[in-house]
Structure 1
């Protein structure tokens, strides 16, 4: 268990915008930050971060919370894992008591797979550095590639012994279960159906140098292993199989080490292999990731899109693979990103070029040879078309097809103009071609929609228009919690209108002023009317809030939500960030400037309580009226009570300056 002192220090030190900035590209928006949702596929920002409140809200998925909640949602950390991650980031020493065997058993299956993977990474690194075979085979290979000790340790590279069960046996001896070793793909299990005792276990990565594949937060998801022998039957590179924690289509090699540099440089270099990434890092260029030998996927592109809008794709000098790689460029364009392309001289790849040239020379080469994708694609395809008019026409159509993928209309037009100049063809022809492609895409979409509707033709669907009724009491109780969270400790002058009898014996309202803190006024008003919040979540938050505000003069939202359950933290973040979503619409650009709530805190608090009173009084009147339907019953007492409540309701509405019909 992690000590409370450590947890408190983590919450006090961690800055939400810094932590989330490692995963999402954030842009200033007033006093907040906004960015693309890391939980959904979107092109317009709906993700808000409040540095003042130290909470975040994702309006596209509905998720929200504090810094720990983000790590738990995004990285699937347990609470202790999130605290440890933050402690490591901010160099905080973790005070921890020994976990009991029962607590260890409570770790879920995903967490067990992470633990197995992390153990494997440490094991393979120890074999590389601490055994004679590891040094002679694995370490010498990395040294031959030109990697320094510092680089090898930075990327946690390792070696798996040329033995069928060394790793598996060591892991089982350490207490790791075989089912998780198999689930992560580290161990291959072959069962004998006739005799369970003959079950055989093999190390998947036997005799391979190991490249751990990490998530954005640095968790080990899987491995890539390279064989060092010339065995033609064995694959040169072998990756971990798909598992609950490793989905190769959603992971980019090196993203953990590159994320901050990508955000800082506002550009990401995309290469093909592990060693390309490592060699670039060693040379001093850190904003680089690899697709790990797989075809580029939309999920991988969106991973980069959270950090930057700019990708530079680096190709080997080998022309054979260029055409296939162009398909990846179209995927990047579809995501609304800016693409440049850089090809290395023939016979060179990013690994060899970075190894054989200085940092200045590599940077200069990338700067001078990174071309706009239109220029690159046109020059590449035109070489293949030569003087053949048919192939030339196909080339033009191919380029326009790529332009059609771009979601932004202005960008499309600029690229069409550029393409017209490069290909020496009129803009009108290209725009017509673009329109034809658009019509075809629209026709295909309509055809697909018709087919879907045809499949549902025999399903009788009753369309019912449902009107969602506003739950007034829920909204008012929610507003009370919001006021307490934002302004609970604020001292205000409240104007109360007290019910008094004048000289004529009539009930009138007379003003009386009270200086008090907002939480005191709300608490006293609710106590006076014996009002208890009806929503269980709000009731629980209200009690904790009043207690915390009463006991702690230095109340902060961050310290208040730190010890709460995550579902309660999420509820609070939703309450506090509800109005922040309107910032996303940027009303200021439309010359609309809403009045800030903190300009009338006392009035806001008083009116909210009064409105709740009115609502409860009207509900009581309706209840009493329903009891007078029996004409044979003597209803005089009930009718008298109704009249009293009607009079009270009238006075309450006078306080609110409302006219009753």
Structure 2
């Protein structure tokens, strides 16, 4: 189905970019704009900028830019139509779609097809839970025994898969879903029996309660399924396989339901299972997510980091299980997040304990019992080591290893001091050991890099000069950490060398996109006064110039066509342009990475004139610099031709052209107030 243009315009006008992006990352105010760490690439310092007035975003780190629709396309990995549907659903805009052509249907994004199939499966499982006899007697009874009420069941969209071999698949095929899509979504399994055409097709999930897994925006991307009857031949939990839209290392169960609470509470509670999340939600504790039994990954930590820098891990394992998982929590420290741990009385887990004492008492318990990770780890390992000096030495080294991974220098220093007191050791001893550890890691990474280079493979992202240290070298810890953290920086990519002319073409286009509709002069004509816009003036002054940079010539074509029709497009025309190249370039023009503070004049009584306050002068100088740059290019071309021609008459003609260009160059330079050199 095709979305009519008037509906597209309504969606674009209604979608608040701050509201849209806040669904995925926590934005913080900075001047007139908002900033955050970019959700598209890993970074510790925010370079993702949102301009609410313009309705655009721009990352100065990875370069991604666009409006609300483009953001949804990028973050969800979906096409333009599906992004519009996503925003229409968010803002309650009714879609009246027209029929698509066969070509449009064929080119529909594969990810969109998977989302549609997964959403259909979710509704099917919900229907079986609430309306079928089997679902009510088995699935619904199980959820009610766990204490889940109807509102909670609906909030998490819980369901039930019938015991039948192909109940879902048969129903989906009847609804015209292709078996290839059902397979790719992880919903159906097709077992080819000796390549016969009647290959057997059956459901992946059978006789299980269903836990839909949502992404940050609320789309169902996978399912977790629990069997209820005792069967040694079947796993207790069965999850969807990895698909185009589901990568378990990138997902946290409950993140969609919890993200706003995590942002508001400024802490995420991390538990292990689905029922822990659901029980805590029902008790009023909604800032909780689960790793769903998998080892915590860097991607999951970064996902939490979009909404809060604080994580409290709620452990329900025994002492041995806790010790085994402590090493993995170093990942949280490496990502610069603050982590605490909380354990429960023996035999209790978050699910059982919150049902036992209630939501408010549970919150209070966490508040009083949660301990920072470093202290918790030290106490657990020291207790295990007892009075054995060798084991205690091993504990010290392990603690230093954890602290050395913390990127923030002040936080590291605090933990070194705290650990020194716990271990009854001088702080300097721990810092020296940390220096040694970081040097070893850098050396190992350097060896890996050198090995890859010998194999002619792309090298690791190590900073220049990082390598082995001589025995006399003893750089301080901050220097070592700075070197090691440089490993995550991308290798600089050499860009094509730009000509001086291209910079002037860029400046010309930028000025027109920002201020093209601004009136800079009013002249009297026979039919009355006539307002002259910046675009009309600058285009009339450059009618004979053909830009050499294809992108800027594309802009110039738009400017000239608009001037002929006296219908001058404003900035928003370019920011929401259907051509992605024009849109992204326009966003680059209007985005300021370091805007001047509004308080500068108020606090220091220093006025910094802005170009918008003197557009007539700025435009005049811009045109002059552009003409001079074109003239310089022509002079350069003539000098090049002079080295190639041999005929005297041709050389004389070129010299005459060069002298003419030279006089023009001198005149332009004089008007610009610059000194001409060379030639």
Q: Normalising to structure 1: TM-score of the pair?
A: 0.88
Aligned to 1:301: 301
Change (3 A) 1:180 1:552: farther
Aligned to 2:486: none
Aligned to 2:662: 646
For residues 160 and 466 of structure 1, the distance between their equivalents in structure 2, rounded to whole angstroms, comes to 54
TM-aligned CA deviation for residue 383 of structure 1: 2.9
8 Å contact from structure 2 (residues 274, 290) kept in 1: yes
Change (3 A) 1:372 1:552: farther
For residues 6 and 206 of structure 1, the distance between their equivalents in structure 2, rounded to whole angstroms, comes to 41
TM-aligned CA deviation for residue 654 of structure 1: 2.0
For residues 124 and 97 of structure 2, the distance between their equivalents in structure 1, rounded to whole angstroms, comes to 23
Change (3 A) 1:179 1:552: farther
Gaps of 5+ in 1: 460-464, 496-513
Change (3 A) 1:197 1:550: same
For residues 184 and 406 of structure 1, the distance between their equivalents in structure 2, rounded to whole angstroms, comes to 39
Change (3 A) 1:242 1:652: same
More displaced, 431-440 or 403-412?
Answer: 431-440
Aligned to 1:4: 5
TM-aligned CA deviation for residue 299 of structure 1: 1.2
Aligned to 1:477: 505
Query: 1:583-594, aligned counterparts within 5 Å?
Result: none
Aligned to 1:502: none
Aligned to 1:601: 615
For residues 43 and 593 of structure 1, the distance between their equivalents in structure 2, rounded to whole angstroms, comes to 34
TM-aligned CA deviation for residue 120 of structure 1: 1.0
For residues 404 and 653 of structure 1, the distance between their equivalents in structure 2, rounded to whole angstroms, comes to 58
1:656 lines up with 2:669 in the alignment: no
TM-aligned CA deviation for residue 469 of structure 1: 3.6
Change (3 A) 1:102 1:467: closer
Change (3 A) 1:94 1:421: same
1:573 lines up with 2:592 in the alignment: no
RMSD: 3.1
TM-aligned CA deviation for residue 365 of structure 1: 1.3
TM-aligned CA deviation for residue 275 of structure 1: 1.2
Aligned to 1:398: 398
Q: Give SS of 1:580's match.
A: coil
Aligned to 2:137: 136
Aligned to 2:279: 279
1:359 lines up with 2:359 in the alignment: yes
Change (3 A) 1:55 1:295: same
For residues 562 and 131 of structure 2, the distance between their equivalents in structure 1, rounded to whole angstroms, comes to 53
Aligned to 2:178: 177
For residues 140 and 99 of structure 2, the distance between their equivalents in structure 1, rounded to whole angstroms, comes to 35
Q: Deviations over 1:525-546 (max 9, x none)?
A: 123xx22334333333344456
Change (3 A) 1:103 1:127: farther
Specify which structure has the bigger relative contact order, considering alpha-carbon pairs within 8 angstroms and separated by 6 or more residues. Answer: 1
Aligned to 2:463: none
Change (3 A) 1:566 1:660: closer
8 Å contact from structure 1 (residues 222, 246) kept in 2: yes
Q: Deviations over 1:632-653 (max 9, x none)?
A: 3266665544433332222222
For residues 541 and 342 of structure 1, the distance between their equivalents in structure 2, rounded to whole angstroms, comes to 59
For residues 632 and 580 of structure 2, the distance between their equivalents in structure 1, rounded to whole angstroms, comes to 36
Aligned to 1:188: 189
Aligned to 1:250: 250
8 Å contact from structure 1 (residues 168, 202) kept in 2: yes
Q: Deviations over 1:533-577 (max 9, x none)?
A: 343333333444566699899965345433513333223223332
Return the match for 2:538 from 509, 513, 522.
Answer: 522
Gaps of 5+ in 2: 460-492, 524-529
Change (3 A) 1:98 1:483: same
More displaced, 376-385 or 179-188?
Answer: 376-385
Query: 1:287-436, aligned counterparts within 5 Å?
Result: 287-316=287-316, 318-436=318-436
TM-aligned CA deviation for residue 54 of structure 1: 1.8
8 Å contact from structure 1 (residues 59, 581) kept in 2: no
For residues 213 and 303 of structure 1, the distance between their equivalents in structure 2, rounded to whole angstroms, comes to 15
For residues 309 and 411 of structure 1, the distance between their equivalents in structure 2, rounded to whole angstroms, comes to 13
Q: Deviations over 1:129-168 (max 9, x none)?
A: 2222222221221111111211111111111100110111
Change (3 A) 1:624 1:606: same
For residues 550 and 118 of structure 1, the distance between their equivalents in structure 2, rounded to whole angstroms, comes to 50
8 Å contact from structure 2 (residues 574, 583) kept in 1: no
More displaced, 370-379 or 418-427?
Answer: 418-427
Change (3 A) 1:593 1:85: farther
TM-aligned CA deviation for residue 198 of structure 1: 4.0
For residues 407 and 62 of structure 1, the distance between their equivalents in structure 2, rounded to whole angstroms, comes to 25
8 Å contact from structure 1 (residues 11, 558) kept in 2: no
TM-aligned CA deviation for residue 233 of structure 1: 1.4
Return the match for 1:487 from 515, 536, 542.
Answer: 515
Q: Deviations over 1:609-641 (max 9, x none)?
A: 111111222333444555664443266665544
Q: Deviations over 1:355-386 (max 9, x none)?
A: 33333212211211111112221232233233
Return the match for 1:533 from 547, 568, 579.
Answer: 547
For residues 263 and 342 of structure 2, the distance between their equivalents in structure 1, rounded to whole angstroms, comes to 20
For residues 566 and 642 of structure 1, the distance between their equivalents in structure 2, rounded to whole angstroms, comes to 41
Change (3 A) 1:568 1:383: same
Q: Give SS of 1:197's match.
A: coil
TM-aligned CA deviation for residue 349 of structure 1: 1.3
Q: Normalising to structure 2: TM-score of the pair?
A: 0.86
Aligned to 2:86: 85
More displaced, 48-57 or 155-164?
Answer: 48-57
Change (3 A) 1:632 1:425: closer
Between Structure 1 and Structure 2, how many residues are aligned? 630
For residues 451 and 257 of structure 1, the distance between their equivalents in structure 2, rounded to whole angstroms, comes to 46
Q: Give SS of 2:648's match.
A: coil
Q: Give SS of 2:245's match.
A: coil
Q: Give SS of 1:391's match.
A: helix
Change (3 A) 1:199 1:602: same
Q: Give SS of 1:269's match.
A: strand
Change (3 A) 1:604 1:101: same
More displaced, 95-104 or 171-180?
Answer: 95-104
8 Å contact from structure 1 (residues 485, 545) kept in 2: no
For residues 64 and 466 of structure 1, the distance between their equivalents in structure 2, rounded to whole angstroms, comes to 21
1:206 lines up with 2:220 in the alignment: no
Query: 1:59-208, aligned counterparts within 5 Å?
Result: 59-100=60-101, 102-193=103-194, 196-208=196-208
Aligned to 2:259: 259
8 Å contact from structure 2 (residues 501, 633) kept in 1: no
For residues 379 and 596 of structure 2, the distance between their equivalents in structure 1, rounded to whole angstroms, comes to 44
Q: Give SS of 2:197's match.
A: helix
More displaced, 136-145 or 442-451?
Answer: 442-451
